[in-house]
Structure 1
Amino acid sequence: MSAFDDVPEWAPRNPPEPGGPESPSPFLGASQPTGLPPRGAPSGHDGEPFDAFSRPDRAPRPAGPAHAADKPPRGPWPLGGGRPPRRVGGVLLGPLAGAIGLVLLTGFGAYAIASPGVGCSGGGAVTLDVAAAPDVEPAVTRTAGRFNDAAHEVGGRCARARVRAADPAAVATLLSGKGVAGVARRPDVWIPDSSLWTGLAGGPAQAAGASGRSAGIASTPIVLAVPRGLATRLRNLGAPERPSWKDLLAAAGTAPGTGGDPAAGDGAGVIPPRLLRLQVPDPARSATGMGALLLAGALLGGAPGGEAPFTGAVRTIREGVAVSVDAQFAAFATSASSGRGEADRYPVAMAPEQAVFAYNARRPAEAAVAVYPAEGTVYLDHPVAVLARDRAKAGAARLLEAALADGETREDLRRLGFRAPGGAAPASFSPRTGLDPRPPRALPGTPAAEVRRTMQSWAQLSLSIRMLSIIDVSGSMDEEVVPGVTRLQSTVRTAQGGLALLPDDSELGQWIFSTGLQGDRDWRELVGVGPLDQRLGSATRRQLVLSAFARIRVKEHGDTGLYDTVMAAFDYMKRTYKPEYVNSVLLWTDGRNEDPGGPSLEETLDHMRREYDPERPVQVNMLGYGSDVDVNELRRIARVTHGDAYVARTPGQIQAIFLRAVSRRVCEPDC
């Protein structure tokens, strides 16, 4: 949770706008983690929501008087309405009969709407408040209608269900007791799109919710939705029918080249690097986004370097966060354009399979194809969580739960594009519709505690970083580590690669240090800390940092003023602390303190213990390079601030070392 409020990090921060997920709505088909689309969406096949329960398209009939005016007169009656109305006893029967019929029809309609159901008896009805994810709400509403018509009774009272579409993230926030994010009423029955939400909500929701894929009312796997043109190109390149997630993440990596991107695969794939532009629904608001993080953790967590590969994958996901699944598909319309450049890679969407079905059902200009990765995927299982505390409501909820498992509901869900809980696909799934009826392998379920840990990691890693980078320029940095490459040159190249991994909304500054660099000071500022995309004169800060890297030179006969420098950097970052960022110092060195006139190690540790403020935490991480580094000394300093020290022996290790240092913020402040 954030240090500044009591709402969980995964909780949505903004309440829904009017017309949001709790408003009555037509069926929308595609899963929409952030709620229903705004009213007034563009018309036509690309803009109209898919409705599985509407009649097939037919030519609309003219409405009202205009339609009537189109008909030729059928008789001499002066108003053109055909034969005149009959008179009985001097009374015009046509208008009178119409008025009487309207009154009777209106009265019957009002009764039908208000009636608690045929056959209900006893006291007041037991009415269940059912909150359903928007993607299944239409089918749940139809089941509730049949349930109400069946006149179930609980303790002699009629049982009814009233269904509303509700954003699962908002309901989970409410049930967790940590805040309100657009849903203020606790439901009696909750049907989110995934058991991941019931785990995050905890308490009764976790106990009552489904624990696996088989317990939900419908299932849909998370797939990679690609434009049909891209699917054709991948097939022509020789890509396997079911490529690996690692190859797909490599092709969507945001850093230039794939060699240094921890999300990259082994480089042996046939998918060209940077071919794809990955879009993922916000993991804080979407089970699909959460599933993407869990996939990254499951597939990359065991890779060498621990947290570093996961950090790289998070960076790739963070760069492509979309507001909704519908927003992801909107980019497909431009995917068929030619002359694709670096800034216009193929858009691909991490999405539920059912959303691909619903998107294609709208007959878009560029259809989508679902790609099923070889390693397997996470399923959205749509569990039924009974939250009612009242005994009568709990009994009614169990009856409704049984109704949700019947054949009619299963058929309604198939028409929406969902698989059965066991994975069986609707008959409409075929290559023609961009879907494979064969169920992809389901990855093992994730315990609730691991889901919470992953979402906490996302909340911290998705924060922009504010870092002061400091490079050692003492004389020993001029030593060669490989023929023709000095230690300083290797460090600078690593820093340049690290800079490419930082998004533009990061803040960065660059210092160098040795001894006596600026009068009696052991450090000198090259570029002040600030946003990388900020323009300073004719260049951005990112460009200035790159230019500064090119000008860094070793100070001949310079020593290592480590203690003075690290204290000054720590004090500066604490003084300029910004709570919306992860504030840190990253110091690169090849040795140990060699400034006899400066502070001792104990004085340095005492100063940093005294100045460290958990309310304004500044983390110090040390990157040692070479055999002369005293890692224990560096680690003692770093761990006062909940940071750590890392040592690289070869140039090939330095990229992973940098990513591990950046990943360190996953566990702060309890590292």
Structure 2
Amino acid sequence: MGRHSLPDDRARDTARSRPRGRRRTIAIATMLLLAVAAGTGIAAQSGLLSFAEPCEDSTVRLDVVASPDIAPAVREVADRARVEKTTSDGQCMDIRVTARENYKVAQELAAASATPDYEVWVPDSGVWSQRAKALEDGVPLTPAGNVAVSPVALATVHSAGATLGWPTKTYTWAQLAAATTATDEVRLGAADPARSATGLLALTSVSRSAAQEGPEADTRVAATAKLLAQRVSEADAQLLRTLAPDSGTGADSRRNQAVFLSEQAAFAYNSAHDGAGDLDLFYPNDATPRLDYPFTLVDEGGLSTDEGRAATRFVALLGEKESRRTLAAHGFRPADNTVDESLVRAAGGSDPQPYDASKVAAAPLSSDALEETLGLWTITVRSARLSTVVDVSGSMGLPVPGRGSQSRLDVTKASLLQALDQFTPDDEIGLWEFAAGLDGPRDYRQLVATARLGAPAKGEGTQRARLAKAFEELAPVPDGATGLYDTTLAAYKEAQATYAEGKFNAVVILTDGANQDQFGISRSSLITELKERTDTERPVPLIAIAVGPDADLSEVDQIARATGGAGYQVNDPAEIQTVILKAIMAVGQAGGTAAQ
């Protein structure tokens, strides 16, 4: 079997700088010369031909950025196209492929000021396009098909595989997580779910699987995430270096024996080792998520006609028979997920493990589920310090349609209590309430000072118990107006003054209306002061949640972005739990820096 590396060192070359502004749409009149010999003509199909003659000046350049694992295979196809003079609309294609980490590209493309020097992006998962769009309104991304797929599984060294009963014993994702985290007999590691689609898909699959097995799912998943946080690697390539030799004893006793990994990564690892220390693969029997390698056009509207057609030609070329063989040689399944059992065996799979996706019926992981997992991961890996500020103005007493006698505040409280369960004892959370004139001249009142949830509270058990009781006792103030601006500034000042180093510090404000206090600070003055107070070295982003149809999302979003945060809207307060986790993920990934 040939040797393959993950990633290829050649992938580190730097793409040339090419401002997007250089592009222009060109009207092309293409002259096709048909050579006729021995009565045989060369027919043009879809306007695409391949010439044996030198291309001379008739060349279209296309820059492709690809995930490090698939970049060598894509580059091989591109190089062959160059050598064979493959054309697009009569022009030879000069396709340059550069490997870059997916999370870094997603962050770059999320910036509104981004000027990418490439026309095509091939990340390992569509997760990254979703992430780029969630972080900010940046460069437009257009999916144009998929290049390959690779299932996500659990890879183990042989001794750990034997302990788990490979290959005859099968598991659900939840059972695999439990078996590898209950003791140190089999030590589980993962790539950072915030930087690895493999790690994110695996942890989300564990969460979904656990939800099917009992009411304590959230606790079990949080425990798994907490353990993984101690053994996390930045990316899949680094994760492979944490694997122990197949002994599991002595100097290697603290190294990983099992890791969440793609089938392709296991194939590449096993190919490089030629049977020495090969990995075994467990394919969970309740669903196998896949890396799907989307061929993505970057700022399609900015592409020239030649570039757009060359991109279309190249994605078609990647699906042709010879290209499929190239991808298979690097350990990838074709985009239609056709199973090559020899590839699966080389990767460490074997019957009765359900590596054939047709044997496993499961709904794909939703973007909401992935975002919840990222939020959970963020607060697990990096403990949070949150000041929760809840609107108790009179309008929060209005009923929620479809929920009987429950008011907006009733449903908000229930959702906050559910969200509280997602946080660990090391997370710090406090509670404020606000309504105009609530506390004499002030529109706000601190009910519970921000402290560790696991810390003892005077006469009331722990901070968590005290906070839960305070949530339950929140009540709307009859005829109370919304004193949003003064409250926001006061809460922000307090959060800055009590900033906790090494934690994710933020202020979470929930309100169902626009500011109604005419005697306090104005919106423009509030935004100006927030911007002046923002410290990029000690960021405290504001997460503003507009609750219900009457809330002004544009207002709270504008205020939040002054601090590096963002605004969100929920029509049903029951969605607050999900939105809080999503907001923590999005703001945390964006860095929590101030908007300029």
What TM-score comes out, normalization by structure 2 length?
0.55
| Alignment partner of 1:319 is 2:219 | no
Counterpart-to-counterpart distance in 1, 2:66 and 2:542 = 43
Deviation at residue 285 of structure 1 after TM alignment: 1.8
Task: Give the Å deviation of 1:461.
Answer: 4.4
Matched AA of 2:232? V
Distance 1:373 1:331 in 2: 22
Q: Who is 1:234 aligned against?
A: 164
State whether structure 2 residue 325 is matched by structure 1 residue 411.
yes
**Residue 645 of structure 1: aligned partner:** none
| 1:627 paired residue number | none
Equivalent-residue separation in structure 1 for 2:59 and 2:79 (angstroms): 15
Change (3 A) 1:584 1:323: closer
Offset, 1:279:
1.3
Q: Alignment partner of 2:265: what SS? A: helix
Paired residue secondary structure (2:199):
helix
Within the alignment, does 1:390 sit opposite 2:315 as a pair? no
Kindly indicate whether residue 499 of structure 2 is the aligned counterpart of residue 577 of structure 1.
yes
Letter in 1 for 2:165: R
Q: Determine which of 209, 225, 247 is the counterpart of 1:299.
A: 209
Deviation (angstroms), 1:322:
0.9
Amino acid in structure 2 at the alignment position of 1:201: A
> Which residue does the alignment assign to 1:74?
none
Query: Are residues 373 and 36 of structure 1, via their aligned partners in 2, closer, same or farther at CA, if it must alter by over 3 Å?
Result: farther
Which residue, out of 250, 268, 290, partners 1:379?
A: 290
Contact 2:202 2:260 in 1 (8 A): yes
**What does 1:205-604 correspond to in 2, within 5 Å?**
208-209=142-143, 215-235=145-165, 241-253=169-181, 273-301=183-211, 304=215, 308=219, 310-338=221-249, 344=254, 347-363=257-273, 365-387=276-298, 388=300, 389-426=303-340, 428-429=342-343, 434-436=348-350, 438-440=355-357, 441=360, 443-448=362-367, 451-452=370-371, 454-466=373-385, 575-578=497-500, 580-582=502-504
Pairwise CA distance, 1:120: 5.2
Change (3 A) 1:423 1:234: same
Q: Which moved more, 1:392-401 or 1:197-206?
A: 197-206
CA deviation after TM superposition for structure 1 residue 167, in Å: 2.0
Please give the alpha-carbon distance, in whole angstroms, between the structure 1 residues aligned to 2:542 and 2:295: 44
Aligned to 1:200: 131
What letter corresponds to residue 246 of structure 1 in structure 2? A
Alignment correspondent of 1:119: 53
Residue equivalent to 1:136:
70
CA–CA distance in structure 2, aligned partners of residues 205 and 445 of structure 1: 26
Cα distance change on mapping 1:285 and 1:32 into 2, 3 Å: farther
Letter in 2 for 1:421: A
Q: What do residues 382-430 of structure 1 show as CA deviations (whole Å, max 9, x unaligned)? A: 1212335211111111111111111111111111112222333445346
Higher-Rg structure is: 1
SS in structure 2 at match of 1:171? helix
2:231 partner amino acid: G
Q: Which residue of 1 aligns with 2:122?
A: 191
Partner Cα separation in structure 2 for residue 319 and residue 156 of structure 1: 55
For 1:315 and 1:367, the matched residues in 2 are separated by 28
How far apart, CA to CA, are the structure 2 residues paired with 1:187 and 1:284?
A: 24
* Contact 1:252/1:316 (8 A) holds in 2: no
Deviation at 1:125, TM superposition (A): 1.9
Deviation at 1:352, TM superposition (A): 0.7
Q: Distance in 2 between matches of 1:454 and 1:421?
A: 26
CA distance in 2, matches of 1:179, 1:450: 29
Contact 1:117 1:149 in 2 (8 A): no
Match of 2:83 in 1: 149
1:228 Cα shift? 0.5
Alpha carbons 2:160, 2:257 under 8 Å: kept: no
How big is the shift at 1:295? Answer: 1.4
Give the 3-state SS of the residue equivalent to 1:219 in structure 2.
strand
Q: Which amino acid aligns with 1:408?
A: E
Alignment of 1:666 with 2:585, yes or no, is no
Is this contact kept in 2: 1:225–1:348, CA < 8 A?
Answer: yes
- Give the secondary-structure state (helix, strand or coil) at the position aligned to 1:355: helix
SS at structure 1 position matched to 2:103: helix
Distance 1:299 1:337, change over 3 A: closer
Tell me the CA shift for residue 200 of structure 1.
2.6
DSSP 3-state at the match of 2:241: helix
Cα distance change, pair 285–186 in 1 and its aligned pair in 2 (3 A): farther
The whole-number CA distance in structure 2 between the counterparts of 1:507 and 1:318 is: 19
Query: Alignment partner of 2:175: what SS?
Result: helix
Pairwise CA distance, 1:351 = 0.8
| TM-score where L is the length of structure 1 | 0.49
Alignment partners' CA distance in 2, 1:328 and 1:580: 24
CA pair 442-151 structure 1, distance change in 2 beyond 3 A: farther
CA separation of 1:158 and 1:572: change in aligned 2, threshold 3 A = closer
> Structure 2: where are the runs of 5+ without partners?
14-49, 388-420, 431-448, 462-468, 474-490, 508-528, 535-539, 544-575, 587-596
SS at match of 2:153: strand
Give 3-state SS (helix, strand or coil) of 1:331's partner.
coil
Taking the aligned partners of 1:189 and 1:292, their CA distance within structure 2 comes to 27
Q: How many residues get paired?
A: 407
